[in-house]
A and B are shown apart, each in its own frame.
Chain A
Amino acid sequence: MAEQLKLSKKDRVAIWWRSTFIQGSWNYERMQNGGWAFSMIPAIKRLYKTKEDRAAALQRHLEFFNTHPYVASPIIGVTLALEEERANGAPVDDKAIQGVKVGMMGPLAGIGDPTFWFTVKPILGALAASLALTGNILGPILYFVLWNLIRMGFTWYTQELGYKAGSKITEDLSGGLLQDITKGASILGMFILGSLVNRWVSVAFAPTVSEVQLDEGAYIDWDELPAGSEGIKTALEQQAAGRSLSDTSVTTLQDNLDSLIPGLAGLLITLLCMWLLRKKVSPIVMILGLFVIGIVFHSIGLM
């Protein structure tokens, strides 16, 4: 058996450093793909020697990818392990690698966004800002140092963890475990894509379908409220009790669509895009077209 190809710690450190720039060429077509390929380059250099292999590896790592930039690290770790196995002759195909990437990116983004953007950042930011407001230079210094310590520690440690766990995935090849993972990953991937299309493609139609005058008592009567803060309290209590803020009930086209299923318009747009892609329409044309549609539809009051 030929000598096993292995990524050195130096390679992994280089990859970790490069992954800092994963969002550098963020684009509307394949999002973090350029940065992902940029991060993988030290591994590809180590594992593949022929020009054809290298070109193929670069191309498969330029596929669509998007997640929270920090939790990309564990996914990079797992992918490194998979690539290592592949370079050593294991039957890891492009679909398995892409499936693992897509399957992990959604749920992990679901961890990264709330943890970093909505927990760590506001806490550090508020602490630092309160120092800065008193003219204390320690505020920004504290923010910068703590943020980067946490970030760099997290990305290095999870990349290593993913790398080690990833090797285990491919250890047992006899039981068809890899085929299972390939299929499992594409199931998970499609499931997550379904959710993402629903959550992240946002379309809202503005036109009003109907406006109904509400009965007295069904809405907050602003003229009857007590003055001052007592009035605010009463209003909030009434709203909590289910009273409407205005004396009419407005139903927009979007409300009607939502009563079918929320996110329907986003789904239709996604399906349309898929169809156009199969018709070989350039993604750039579609992106520009959607912006033009956004401006036109907003101007005529449809969105």
Chain B
Amino acid sequence: MDLTMIQIILVVIVAFLAGVEGILDEFHFHQPIIACTLIGLVTGELVPCLILGGTLQLIALGWANIGAAVAPDAALASVASAIILVLGGQGEEGVTSAIAIAVPLAVAGLLLTIIVRTLATGIVHLMDAAAREGNFRRVDMWHIIAIIMQGLRIAIPAALIVAIGAAPVRDLLQAMPAWLTDGLAVGGGMVVAVGYAMVINMMATREVWPFFAIGFVLATIPSITLLGLGGIGVALALIYLALTKQGGSGNGGNGNTGDPLGKIIDDY
């Protein structure tokens, strides 16, 4: 079916919101059940899109951005497959083929996410420059530009799909070579090391390196959760502080070692 100009604009706005949320993960406009429904709402194909959203939501239940890892991209998958469903004009019968398209789209979206997250690295350097001048406005501005970039990540592909129609999209997705997508995923697993290296360089002293080693070794035991590791870490820090006090200059102190940091962590 053909969309009116107003419908196209609304679709692009929904896509933009989904893209922004794909990184923020706060309001959840990028979750299939919301994104597909909104696309259905603005195009007048509510029920088929609602069913597509529900189905995709079940597939995507466990998709989450953990740490620096990037989950398959629910935003592009939902928005693009819903648009293709609407353009196909088959109503509820088109849901199955739309789902088949959604999964490769989620992987394609992953690539776009990685690209944008890499571009954002340049943006934080601009924020650094603004910070050196104490310029709040420019820090705000660059942060908002980064958010807009994430929105365009979905809005542009959505507009393209509306412009070129559903069929060429399918061909394009099949043409993307596996070596590229898989290789990027392999690289994505390693790049987090850069971030950790920066913090370690900042915090490390001869005194605290052994704790790094203990943390590293204990983390090989898969049954200890991160929370558990946190508990061990707090305990180690407390023990170390108590011992250095005893052996130290007898500086007295007021003996109040009720560890507030530990308490804060316990409180949550």
Contact = CB atoms under 8 A, between A and B. Distances in A.
A201 B185 contact: no
A64 B211 contact: no
Interface string B25-52: 1111001011001000000001100110
B212 A193 contact: yes
A47 interface: no
Nearest to A104: B265
Given A180-B241, A269-B193, A199 B118 contact: no
B185 A27 contact: no
Interface in B20-77: 20, 23-28, 31, 33-34, 37, 46-47, 50-51, 53-55, 57-58, 60-62, 64, 66-69
Interface in A80-131: 95, 98-100, 102-104, 106-111, 113-114, 117-118, 121-122, 125-126, 128-131
Contacts of A59: 128, 131-132
B111 to A, nearest CB: 11
A240 interface: no
Interface stretch (B154-162, B165-173, B255-263): B255-263
Main SS at interface, chain A:
helix
A177 interface: yes
A198 interface: yes
Contacts of A33: 124
Contact of B214 (A191, A290, A295): A191
Given A62-B131, A191-B214, A140 B50 contact: yes
Contacts of A108: 230, 265, 268
B195 A128 contact: no
B200 interface: yes
Contact of B68 (A55, A66, A135, A288): A66
Chain A CB count within 10 A is highest, among B28, B184, B232, for B28
A172 B254 CA distance: 10
A55 B131 contact: yes
Interface residues of B, number: 119
A233 interface: no
A136 B47 CA distance: 8
Nearest to B22: A23
Interface string B229-268: 1111110111011000000000101111101110111011
Contact of A140 (B53, B187, B217): B53
A10 B5 CA distance: 42
A240 B231 CA distance: 33
Interface stretch (B6-14, B82-90, B96-104, B142-150): B142-150
Contacts of A276: 197
Contact of B268 (A66, A74, A288): A74
Contact of B28 (A71, A102, A144, A189): A144
B186 A273 contact: no
B218 interface: yes
B204 interface: yes
A15 interface: no
Contacts of B69: 200, 202
A144 B21 CA distance: 13
B226 A107 contact: yes
Interface of B: 20, 23-28, 31, 33-34, 37, 46-47, 50-51, 53-55, 57-58, 60-62, 64, 66-69, 114, 117-118, 120-124, 127-128, 130-134, 136, 139-140, 142-144, 146-147, 150, 179-180, 182-205, 207-209, 211-220, 225-227, 229-234, 236-238, 240-241, 251, 253-257, 259-261, 263-265, 267-268
19 contacts: A20-B24, A29-B121, A37-B127, A54-B136, A62-B131, A106-B229, A107-B230, A109-B226, A129-B54, A129-B58, A143-B34, A172-B256, A181-B261, A187-B237, A201-B190, A202-B69, A202-B189, A266-B193, A287-B194
Given A194-B217, A262-B220, A270-B200, 12 more contacts: A24-B23, A28-B118, A30-B195, A34-B146, A37-B139, A104-B261, A108-B230, A110-B225, A113-B226, A129-B57, A132-B37, A294-B188
